[in-house]
Amino acid sequence: MEKIKIAVLGSTGYTALELLKLLRRHPAAEVVAVTSRENTSPIAEVHPSLTGQYSICCENLKPQDLKARGVQVVFSCLPHTATAAVAPELLDLGMKVIDFGADYRLNDAEVFNKWYNVVHPDPDRLPLTPYGLPELFREEIKKSALVANPGCYPTSAILPLAPLLKGDYIASDDIIIDSKSGVSGAGRKPSLKNLYPECNEAISAYAVGSHRHTPEIEEVLTTASGKAAKIIFTPHLTPMDRGILTTTYSKRLNDATQEDLLAYLRDFYAGEPFVQVVDALPSTKDVIHTNRCHLTVRVVGSRVMTISAIDNLVKGAAGAAVQNFNVICGFDETTALL
């Protein structure tokens, strides 16, 4: 199999580490560049678990440098807005780009500017960029050279909710989403709230009513279902390394039973390798280190509840990116993924 040359931009964080692990076992992937604006160490020193797997060093490279190395696909793990500053040049040079950040997840530049407090550097490309959930937008992803990798919280909420909205089983104007994430979701940059004495033996809500994933979830649910979705989203920091458990509460629209809804969801995701509709209540431990989402549904009085579990670093980030890589390059979607 001919190798595809790959660059990873912003290679020092947790999602980049997870990505490099996955690409190492991909038969068609050859990582020829890993970048950092400050670090010039071997990538195996930055991430000791890669010892013996990669011999390349971090470099501060520009798009022309990547082109000179024959890079064909760029995975960008850069901070928000940094990818949009370089993506146009990368695309003009013939490279495909999978962006881990939020730069291209929203269609409306004004909405982006409001939630991220910055003027978007590449606004015209926003409505043209597919959202990287193949389970919902596979055909659009196949045709695109730029893919907006989903947020981790949005993935855990959209996968169970979008089918139920599309099938008119739940109301779109009153959706409550409660999510709990491991500490790795906050990234590798040191901060007080992520120190072990601060977060161990504690669980806490944050960004109540103001989390930046709110407009992303609403927009994608609206696009996928055709219903104008309005949500209340509350994330929580949980004292574990990785994983997301999301519970949603929606108004029930008809007399469909729990068994009916489970059957509907199984039919909706039939043939999808990474979404399992389960009878038992999902646990993060069941999906750790996999690209899988376990989800289920419960009917409680006038409400429909969904519960889903993903690994925030895999299905919520690096695994989704490799899944999108497989889609845009024409490989079997499960290649290198569990």
Both tokens of 49, joined, read 């678990």
Across 48-73, b (16+ Cβ under 10 Å) vs e yields: eebeeebebbbeebebeebbeeebbb
- Give the sign of the dihedral formed by CA 307, CA 311, CA 316, CA 322: negative
DSSP line for 175-199: EEEEEEE-GGGG-SS--GGGSHHHH
Catalytic residues, by residue number, are 152
Tokens 């072990």 — which residue? 196
Tokens 């390349």 — which residue? 56
Across 154-185, b (16+ Cβ under 10 Å) vs e yields: bbbbbbbbbbbbbbebbbbeebebbbbbbbbb
Rg of the chain in Å (alpha carbons) = 19
Spatial separation of the C-alpha atoms in residues 87 and 99, rounded to whole Å: 9
Pairing of strands 293-300, 275-277: parallel
Closest CA to 27 of 328, 322, 324: 322
The end-to-end CA distance of the chain, in Å, is: 21
